[in-house]
Chains A and B, each alone.
Chain A
Amino acid sequence: MQTTDAGFDIRIRDALGNERVRGNFRRAMDGLMQRRLDLFPDAEAMESLRQHGMRIKASALSHLPELLEELEAKLIANGIRVHWAETPLEANQIVLDIMQSHGATSMIKGKSMVSEEMGLNHFLEQHGIDVLESDLGEFILQLAGEPPSHIVAPAIHKDRYQIAELFREKFPDIPYSEDIDELTQSARAILRDRFETAEVGLSGVNFAVAETGTLCLVENEGNGRMSTTVPPVHIAVTGIEKVVEKLEQIPPLLTLLTRSATGQPVTTYFNMISSPRKPGEKDGPEEVHLVLLDNGRSGIYSDPELLATLRCIRCGACMNHCPVYTRIGGHAYGTVYPGPIGIIFEPQKGGLDKYGALTTASSLCGACGEVCPVRIPIPSLINRLRYEANHSNGVTPGSGSKHKNSEALLWKAWSLLYRNPLLYRMMTKAATRLRMLAPGKAGPWTRYRTAPKPAARSLHDLARTHGVDNE
């Protein structure tokens, strides 16, 4: 979905007007926020852990090219094949080539946001491949023909009644039920067969350890393990920023991820894959591939401030705490990654010309930065991207594309007025004297509030008559 200013506004208005979805999001976000808080009872310990997480990721990023080479060498030595892709199209083609080399026409997927970024499902289906999502949330969305609205809980915008209706429509043989356990058991039964027979399994990667050549995956359902264990071929796709240097760094990152994302001390499964099936082993894929996707990340890497964007471990805590996301939901953003991480990542990845409007969808309240487990200064980066959107000498693709003469002139005029003490005081004098003429309608502000009226006397005036020293 390409975000345009006009499209974004419409989607926002639709979302704000949808009481049901707003209710679903409010309840869901409240629950996630509380659950996270419950797992970080000690504020000081939490801060130490966040600092630690930031240090691990920042340090890995500081020698990213070397780490990627080390990761690649280790993976290859372990028997895992490594592929590099600059663009989603290249990555899709790599996946297709692997499948075609095996004559495979069916794929079962564990959850992968990078595969969403690639638009993998659509691409493969166009080439005659049957792709099935196995994560319950993604499975539901695939049935509904919708994209995810949250990076961790993809079907969070739906309630059980909507899901029951969906199952009734798609699986008429299964008795109708609104019971969550029954719906889940139905999904289990439907997917069981497919796990057994799929020719290729696809997964994402949460952490890739350079030291040992290990791909790490978190999950609760078991579908990730199924997809990476049962089919004879496993393809993992990931962004180049997911590499971590040492194995000992995994435990702190894991606990930060699970506690920040879903308020769990750990997920049901933590799956660490270091090689394909070895001789004598009875199960596991015979071939394991890793596709490393760039898609704009190396560009982000070139700026010392914006680089912090790449620390993200995809926990979703930022969007769980965002008052804007809570009210407009994930789909309104029109992007693969929504919420605070989305509004900084997507414009840097896809250009400010297409995604610059996203940077306005924040009051800079800082709730996101407060909870980010790797301390990405999201509000500062939003601010920086707003600057880049209006000025063409920026490093981000599409910088300057949101420059509007009218706004630029407004701020120029404001600057001329406010930096000149005499002009400023003349302005405030006029405003206070003419306060009764202040407009009752002041654009979008007065849609929801009365327009503020200047006071009878400015503080400058009151301070002077009160005898406060000038210097």
Chain B
Amino acid sequence: MSNARQKILARLRDAPRPDVTSIGKGAVESPVWDLDERIRRFTDRMTAVRAEVVETSPDTWMQALQAVCQRAGARNLLYSAASPFGEAISRQPPVAHPVTTGLESHKWKTTLFHEIDAALTTTLGGIAETGTLMLWPDMQEPRMMSLVPPVHIAILEAGKLFNTFSEAVAAMQWQDGMPTNALLISGPSKSADIEQTLAYGVHGPKELVVLLIRD
């Protein structure tokens, strides 16, 4: 197989190098909006793809979370006890059966596939232009949380809402160290594979609810 590698690279190196100095000119403008505008755009984009955005505050997000869980009919909620939000939830669970991500690893997959009604994650931030959440799953909030349960509830702090993806990557210097898995999530799962008609709730969550916490 290293033979294939050598042969492929040799062929590529033998080829003349195209001169790309004059290829493609033109700058791409990036929008800059104030916070209200960013929230408005984010909410519009999310709502257009059937995600729900609940504007709330540091004082009221727990009530909002409880209302969301009730509406979704969630008997349980998976969350990370390690986050600041998690501590509050542990003290005052919004559901009858809260489940922390501290559960044993060998039970993780089965629990997620068969038992969890809703999972709550924090987010790295959001993107206003496209109505997008950025997640860097980690040991406390593993990636299946935002994928397997039918309901995904995400906490987005308004101060971390960027104008564009480019801006977010540059501001947070993603290139300095990417996590195992970085995710952009822009709504509940959907497909248009049948007659180009949108159908929601395919393999990822059927519902996405964003708790947008604004100071």
Contacts and interface: CB of A to CB of B under 8 A. Distances in A.
Nearest to A111: B193
B130 A64 contact: no
B184 A269 contact: yes
Contacts of B143: 225, 229, 283-284
Interface stretch (B7-15, B65-73, B86-94): B7-15
Contact of B132 (A24, A84, A195, A266): A266
A23 B62 CA distance: 52
B32 interface: no
B204 A163 contact: no
A281 B203 contact: no
A177 B174 CA distance: 46
Interface in B2-24: 2, 4-5, 7-9, 11-20, 23-24
B183 A68 contact: no
Interface string A232-273: 000000001000001110111011000000100111111111
A49 interface: yes
Contact of B28 (A48, A196, A270): A48
B113 interface: yes
A32 B196 contact: yes
Contacts of A270: 183-184, 186
A90 B180 CA distance: 28
A272 B4 contact: no
A268 B178 contact: no
A283 B139 CA distance: 9
B16 A196 contact: no
A272 B182 contact: yes
A284 B175 contact: no
Chain A interface, DSSP helix/strand/loop, else mixed: helix
Given A268-B190, A281-B139, A49 B28 contact: yes
A354 interface: no
A94 B164 contact: no
B24 A51 contact: yes
Interface in A161-190: 163, 180-181, 183-185, 187-188
Contacts of B2: 84
A227 B197 CA distance: 24
Contact of A65 (B13, B129, B189): B13
A274 to B, nearest CB: 4
Contacts of B35: none
Nearest to B110: A196
Interface stretch (B53-61, B115-123, B153-161, B165-173): B165-173
A287 interface: no
Nearest to A32: B196
Interface residues of B, number: 77
B28 A52 contact: yes
A85 to B, nearest CB: 6
Nearest to A258: B130
Contacts of B75: none
Nearest to B101: A282
Interface in B187-215: 187-197, 199-205
B27 interface: yes
Interface residues of A, number: 103
A187 B139 CA distance: 31
A237 B89 CA distance: 42
Contact of B11 (A58, A140, A262, A299): A299
Contacts of A76: none
Contact of A180 (B25, B132, B194): B194
A396 interface: no
A274 B180 contact: yes
Contacts of B187: 268
B138 interface: yes
A109 interface: no
Interface in A38-53: 45, 47-49, 51-53
A277 B180 contact: yes
A53 B205 CA distance: 32
B9 to A, nearest CB: 5
Nearest to A221: B202
Contacts of B181: 229, 271-274, 284
B96 interface: no
A156 B191 CA distance: 12
A151 B22 CA distance: 31
Contact of A250 (B4, B25, B169, B185): B169
Contact of A28 (B16, B23, B174, B196): B196
Contact of B174 (A65, A195, A247): A247
A163 B24 contact: no
B180 A269 contact: no
Contacts of A254: 165
B186 A251 contact: no
Nearest to A44: B26
A275 B199 contact: no
B114 to A, nearest CB: 9
A136 interface: yes
Contacts of B25: 51, 55
Contact of B180 (A47, A159, A212, A276): A276
Contact of A184 (B147, B148, B170, B202): B202
Contacts of A226: 147-148, 203-204
B144 interface: yes
B183 A136 contact: no
Nearest to B24: A55
B197 to A, nearest CB: 5
B34 interface: no
24 contacts: A49-B28, A55-B23, A84-B5, A94-B1, A180-B197, A185-B201, A187-B202, A196-B113, A220-B191, A221-B191, A225-B147, A226-B148, A226-B203, A230-B144, A254-B165, A265-B130, A268-B190, A269-B185, A272-B178, A282-B101, A282-B144, A283-B143, A284-B142, A301-B12
Identify the 7 closest CB pairs spanning chains A and B, nearest first. A222-B204, A55-B24, A137-B193, A270-B184, A222-B203, A184-B199, A84-B5
Interface of B: 1-2, 4-5, 7-9, 11-20, 23-29, 45, 49, 101, 105, 108-109, 113, 129-132, 138-139, 142-144, 147-148, 164-166, 169-170, 174-175, 177-197, 199-205
Given A184-B201, A265-B45, A284-B143, 6 more contacts: A184-B202, A266-B131, A268-B188, A281-B139, A283-B144, A375-B24
